[in-house]
Amino acid sequence: MDMKKVVAFKVLLVLALTMASTSCKKSSSSKNSSRATGWQINSREGGFQYNTDYKEQETSPGLVFIEGGTFTKGRVQDDVMHDWNNSPTQQHVQSFYMDETEVTNAMYMEYLDWIKRVYPPSEENFRAIYDGALPDTLVWRNRLGFNEVMTENYLRHPGYGEYPVVGVNWIQAVEFANWRSDRVNEYNLERAGYLKRDAKILDVNAESTFSTDTYINAPTLTYGGNEEVINGDGRNRRNVRVDADGNESNIYATRETGIISPKYRLPTETEWEYAALGLSEIRDYNLYRGRKKYPWDGQYTRSGKRKIRGDQLANFKQGKGDYGGIAGWSDDGADITNAVKSYDPNDFGLYDMAGNVAEWVADVYRPIIDDDFNDFNYYRGNVYTKNALNEDGTVKVVTADDIVYDTLPNGKVIARNLPGEIAQVPIDENETYLRTNFDKSDEINFRDGDRRSSRYFENFNVDDEEVGEEKKNSYTSKMYNSPKHKVTRDSLGNIIREYDRGNNRTSLINDEVRVYKGGSWKDREYWLDPAQRRYFPQDMATDYIGFRCAMSRVGSKSKTKTKTKN
């Protein structure tokens, strides 16, 4: 054989083997081939279905991305108010998302409109649902002030549409976040073709609402499990998958699809403070260690930029009888609240993290941050629950007849659950047995206020259940000895209020007071510092506390960055 032909043949053979080897490597590392078993994922024949094309979490409506990291929580300057409740601690926060602005009147009105359509207040069984969601517009009243224009107009008039909603208590803020989660996920599923188009507005009523948790755990019961006959096949008309050809199938989205987003919620105190400081572009060592005073750079509330030098950077009370400055000069642009985005954002792109309104956060208030036990995603307020089950093992979905109403200490009535949601019960020994990370359902008082950590400073071994009321009240130095107001109902349903007028109560702190952060239009400059922390009863509202929502991030710590081509 000619040597040239032999050489050419060998070259071709090497190339063929190389291509075969490369082909084998690609095949074995295919994203649709399991690295555990070699089985095909997402095959037409069925089996394990998983979104192998998932890139990263999509930013949900209204939110901006906050990349997590470490920071110094609390103040390092002297505490002139002598609260001593914000001692500096080093904390690490996971990446998350937060509303770029406070929730506005227009946003909250959309929520009220939905409730009014789905749970008409004209129906006796639903009246308390709508009434319980209404902001308290009377918070604007003052015994020696004329503020009726705000009482009558602030919530509903379009002139205040982009102003932050106030008069909302902590419980109402949490319910708004839950509602928002369901509406956004409902839209996501509809957009992805897992729900009928416009399913969210087709005959929406109390018996046919969408709940994210219900969809995940019992998708056939979504929208109340209502069925209509389609081509002779009984099927929930709204809860169906529609393919590219318009064909329907009983395929439901699961968490594995990546379509269902985490829930909107209130930010934790640690998340809020970290986001408010806006440390994303800070490289100065002292600022990193906690010496940044405001959400903006510098030690003053006025701008130092040439074009706007002297302008106020936030909406706050500048002095006694001075809520905005002299008209036309040195004015912060508002006397009460101001429209969102009226002032520059911080480095994370968040508006009004100082001034305008203070904001509810998720935490139960305690004077001390227990960083010795945990310095990662710190939060006090965990109450763990699980899905209630029927006798046949299926989840129990709340119906219009199962709504439970709670009467708050201030006499207001709220719905504990809504139709379409899965009923919740406290976790029990089945979840806590031999665990080391938690041991009961309610962990609010962990290491602070429960029997293992609280004490009477004058008598160490006294328990409320072991002594009479009179003797118990004599121990005035008990930790968190707060007033205990009672609200009950008689046989006719009338509210009976019992106000605790005892003179031996030593604190207003209990498990129903929540932290709120940030200064407001009604506060002096001192409270604009993101490290400042105050508390207020979770069932009460004011004209200076609003809120914004947050959402956890799943997956990578940082957002995917597009690589630049050379």
CA atoms within 13 A of residue 552's CA, in its CB half-sphere: 8
- Answer whether residue 453 shows pLDDT above 70: no
pLDDT at 449: 56
Listing from the earlier edge strand, what are the strands of the sheet with 533-537?
A: 533-537, 513-517, 358-364, 545-546
**With bands split at pLDDT 50, 70 and 90, how would you rate the model's confidence at 48?**
confident
Q: What's CA 437's distance to the chain center, in Å? A: 23
Which of 19-33, 160-174, 291-305, 388-402 is modeled with the greatest confidence?
160-174
Q: Residue 479: its pLDDT value, please?
A: 64
pLDDT number for residue 45: 67
pLDDT greater than 50 at residue 539: yes
In the chain, what percentage of residues exceed pLDDT 90? 46
**What integer is the mean pLDDT of 390-415?**
88
**Is pLDDT above 50 for 236?**
no
For the stretch 426-447, pLDDT in tens is 999 999 999 999 999 999 988 8
Task: Summarize the confidence of residues 368-387 as an average pLDDT.
Answer: 93
Nearest one of 363, 334, 366, 344 to 520, comparing CA atoms: 334
pLDDT band at 17 (very low <50, low <70, confident <90, very high): low
* 3-class SS string, 225-272: HCCEEECCEEECCCCCEECCCCCEECCCCCHHHCCCCCCEECCCHHHH
CB 111, CB 514: distance < 8 Å: no
Q: What is the pLDDT of residue 46?
A: 66
Residue percentage of the chain with pLDDT more than 70 = 76
Q: What is the mean pLDDT of residues 217-243?
A: 61
Task: Give me Rg for the CA atoms of the chain.
Answer: 28
Q: State which amino acid sits at residue 108.
A: Y
Model confidence over 316-325: pLDDT tens digits? 888 898 888 7
Query: Which of 10-19, 129-138, 367-376, 403-412 shows the lowest per-residue confidence on average (mean pLDDT)?
Result: 10-19
Q: Is the pLDDT of residue 565 over 50?
A: no
Residue-level pLDDT at 180: 98
Residue with the larger pLDDT of the pair 557 and 281: 557
> Which tens digits make up the pLDDT trace of 482-524?
888 888 877 777 788 888 888 877 788 889 999 999 999 999 8
Higher pLDDT, 148 or 372: 148
Give mean pLDDT, residues 51-68. Answer: 93
Q: What span, in angstroms and rounded, lies between the C-alpha atoms of 93 and 271?
A: 7
User: How far is it, in rounded angstroms, from Cα 430 to Cα 408?
Assistant: 31
Positive or negative torsion for Cα 338, 161, 353, 296: negative
pLDDT higher than 70, residue 37: yes
